[in-house]
Amino acid sequence: MRLWNNLKIRFLAAALLWAALSPTPEGAAPARAAGKPERLVAMTLATAEMLLALAPRERIVGLHKLAGHPGYSNVADKARGIPLIDSAPERIIALRPDMVFVASYSSAAFLNQLRAAGVPVSKFSVFSGVADVFASIEKMGRLIGEEAKAQKLVKDTQERIRTIRARIPKNRTPPRILTLVRGGWVTGEGTSHDALIRLAGGVNAAAERGVRGARRVSAERVIAWNPDVIMVGANPESGAGMKDVIRANGVYAPLREKKIVEIPYPRFSSVSQYIAGALDDLVRGLYP
């Protein structure tokens, strides 16, 4: 149990940092072999969520094991029946993949082992807003030979976002919103959370204070910033989520009267097309 809890903590930290990355050069994408790569592996949640929307199941030979966990994954049901694996290179190599999708935080040693075995690897590392999500969907579509599906997924997600934003009341003072994650993390400019806040018609209280990316901030500073709304992730399992921490922890007592909008973790941390669901949750919470 302790090992699994540690794994979850590491995943959440990685997801937070990945969502907070500012654009960085990725290098050239691997050239696609003649025809479509048939054996595909996704080693992050975002690439698993995109891949399951774009590729037929028979072409997906492996997903990172967290893709099957309903507390963290938007595609846990869809992932059933597909091998779920950890990040051990030998496990991935044994699947004989034609392409593996990884993240910017994948270690150099991990990537070098895959490449030494002749496994084509594609890195996805820019997720600072919805435009980056759409670019990643289109990139995956090109790599796997499913451009039309990728374009349709982007178009459908864009339309859903437009529909959600149409519900935002006009002529209202933009609410100042602060994202607060367990451990005292906030997310500022250049993050997926910042993009959500702006799409929902709000002002990111952390970005307003010069925060870029993800940063740990004391409770005293959070209180001094005096946000109108706190955006938190809903705990995926039993136990205390951030909303419960705010209500129970004395250092956050001044925040208890604030509006707190909870977003289920799979959408709260999503940097795939499911970010539209997080926007829907936020808009519903802000403007009931």
Considering only residues 121 and 104, tell me which one the structure prediction assigns the higher pLDDT: 121
* 219-241 tens-digit pLDDT: 999 999 999 999 999 876 645 57
Kindly state the percentage of the chain with pLDDT values over 90.
72
**Predicted local distance difference test score (pLDDT) of residue 25:** 33
Phi then psi dihedrals of residue 224, to 5 deg? -65, -30
Q: Which distant-in-sequence residues (6+ apart) come within 8 Å of 172 by Cβ?
A: 201
Q: 17-31, 179-193, 270-284: which has the minimum mean pLDDT?
A: 17-31
Average pLDDT, the chain: 87
Nearest C-alpha neighbor of 271 from the set 130, 140, 151, 158: 130
Mean pLDDT of 247-272: 91
Provide the terminal-to-terminal Cα distance of the chain, rounded to the nearest Å: 38
**Predicted local distance difference test score (pLDDT) of residue 248:** 83
Q: How far is CA 154 from CA 10, 42, 210, 236, in A?
A: 30, 19, 31, 27
- Report d(CA 98, CA 199) in Å as an integer: 37
Highest mean pLDDT among 28-42, 93-107, 147-161: 147-161
Q: What is the DSSP letter of 253?
A: G
- Report d(CA 224, CA 181) in Å as an integer: 17
Strands 185-187 and 176-181: antiparallel
Tell whether the model's pLDDT for residue 155 goes beyond 70: yes
**Predicted local distance difference test score (pLDDT) of residue 182:** 85
pTM of the model: 0.86
Answer yes or no: are the C-beta atoms of 186 and 222 closer than 8 Å. yes
Answer yes or no: are the C-beta atoms of 30 and 37 closer than 8 Å. no
Nearest C-alpha neighbor of 268 from the set 207, 173, 147, 187: 187
**Predicted local distance difference test score (pLDDT) of residue 9:** 43
Mean pLDDT of 61-68: 96
**Predicted local distance difference test score (pLDDT) of residue 17:** 44
How does residue 143 score in pLDDT terms, banded at 50, 70 and 90? very high
How does residue 10 score in pLDDT terms, banded at 50, 70 and 90? very low
Tell whether the model's pLDDT for residue 140 goes beyond 90: yes
Q: 68-82, 152-166, 240-254, 267-281: which has the minimum mean pLDDT?
A: 240-254
**Predicted local distance difference test score (pLDDT) of residue 13:** 45
- Report d(CA 213, CA 223) in Å as an integer: 20
Q: Is 171 exposed, middle or buried (0-12, 13-18, 19+ CB in 10 A)?
A: exposed
Question: How many other C-beta atoms are found inside a 10 Å radius of the C-beta of residue 29?
Answer: 15
Tell whether the model's pLDDT for residue 267 goes beyond 60: yes
Answer yes or no: are the C-beta atoms of 103 and 38 closer than 8 Å. no
Tell whether the model's pLDDT for residue 262 goes beyond 80: yes
Q: How far is CA 108 from CA 44, 91, 225, in A?
A: 16, 17, 39
**Predicted local distance difference test score (pLDDT) of residue 242:** 84
User: Which domains, from first to last, does the chain contain?
Assistant: 2-163 (3.40.50.1980), 176-286 (3.40.50.1980)
Tell whether the model's pLDDT for residue 24 goes beyond 50: no
Only one residue has tokens 């009931």, namely 288
Tell whether the model's pLDDT for residue 2 goes beyond 70: no
